[in-house]
């Protein structure tokens, strides 16, 4: 068998697309700078994974209207990604296949969850599908991508960061770079594309 490469997905790999939702794109309620730049590279990865019939998972921030992360409840963020609203919908130009598996997170009023593994079936689903390596892109590098990747690594998955396909909020200058360092320090590999 050929060694696994970082550029060509193979059996055991899954694509994990984090929170590419309208509210995180330019003009959205919690716009990530250049958030829309992740879409073109992600669509290329989607095509590669589809060509090999490999699993594609899309996570979404899916908050109730009174979520604890919202400023009026004392949280750090403006209201965003309220379940069922246009802002919570996936970016219309993201070419998600019908077969993509959708993971909703932070769905209850009093719990924040930046990691797609927190309070979801993601780990069980990946194990059932015999996935051992995750190619990860999406938004935002310094919040949901970072927390999802660190959890994935502690759960024993290999991770490949899709650098062109992620962007940071950068609330504090350098947050995105520090998040990348933390993920690589914890064992994540990375590709430019």
The string of DSSP letters for 152-183 reads HHHTT-EEEEEEEEEE---SSTTHHHHHHHHH
59-78 footprint of Zn ion as x/- string (CB under 5 A): --x-----------------
CB 107 within 8 A of CB 88: no
Residue of the chain from 16, 139, 150, 161 that contacts ligand VGL (CB under 6 A): 139
Cis peptide before 3 (omega within 30 of 0): no
Residue 14 found at the interface with ligand VGL (CB under 6 A): no
Encoded tokens for 192? 């430019």
Give the chain's length: 193
Count residues binding Zn ion (CB under 5 A). 1
Candidates 39-47, 84-92, 140-148, 158-166; binding stretch for ligand VGL (CB under 6 A): 140-148
10-29 footprint of Zn ion as x/- string (CB under 5 A): --------------------
**Angstrom distance (rounded) from CA 3 to CA 116:** 29
Residue 17 found at the interface with ligand VGL (CB under 6 A): no
Nearer to ligand VGL, 13 or 61 (CB): 61
**Angstrom distance (rounded) from CA 20 to CA 137:** 9
Residue 62 found at the interface with ligand VGL (CB under 6 A): no
> Quick check: is 105 catalytic?
yes
Query: Which residues ranging from 67 to 126 are in contact with ligand VGL (CB under 6 A)?
Result: 69, 77
**Angstrom distance (rounded) from CA 59 to CA 47:** 18
Closest CA to 160 of 14, 3, 1, 11: 14
> Quick check: is 170 catalytic?
no
Look at residue 93 and give its three-state secondary structure.
coil
| Interface ranges with ligand VGL (CB under 6 A) | 19, 61, 69, 77, 139-140, 143-144
- Write out the catalytic residue numbers: 19, 105, 144
């Amino acid at each position: 068998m050929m060694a696994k490469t970082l550029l060509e997905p193979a059996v055991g790999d899954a694509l994990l697309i984090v929170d590419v939702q309208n509210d995180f794109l330019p003009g959205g309620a919690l716009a990530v700078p250049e958030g829309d730049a992740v879409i073109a590279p992600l669509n290329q990865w989607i095509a590669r994974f589809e060509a090999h019939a490999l699993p594609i998972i899309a996570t979404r921030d899916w908050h109730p209207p009174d979520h604890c992360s919202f400023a009026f409840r004392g949280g750090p963020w403006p209201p965003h990604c309220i379940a069922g609203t246009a802002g919570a919908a996936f970016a219309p130009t993201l070419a998600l296949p019908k077969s993509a598996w959708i993971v909703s997170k932070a769905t209850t009023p009093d719990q924040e969850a930046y990691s797609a593994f927190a309070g979801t079936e993601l780990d069980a689903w990946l194990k059932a599908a015999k996935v051992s390596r995750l190619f990860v892109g999406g938004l935002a590098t310094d919040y949901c991508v970072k927390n999802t990747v660190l959890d994935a690594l502690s759960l024993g998955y290999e991770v490949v960061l899709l650098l062109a396909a992620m962007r940071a909020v950068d609330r504090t200058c350098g947050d995105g770079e520090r998040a990348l360092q933390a993920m690589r320090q914890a064992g994540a590999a990375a590709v430019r594309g």
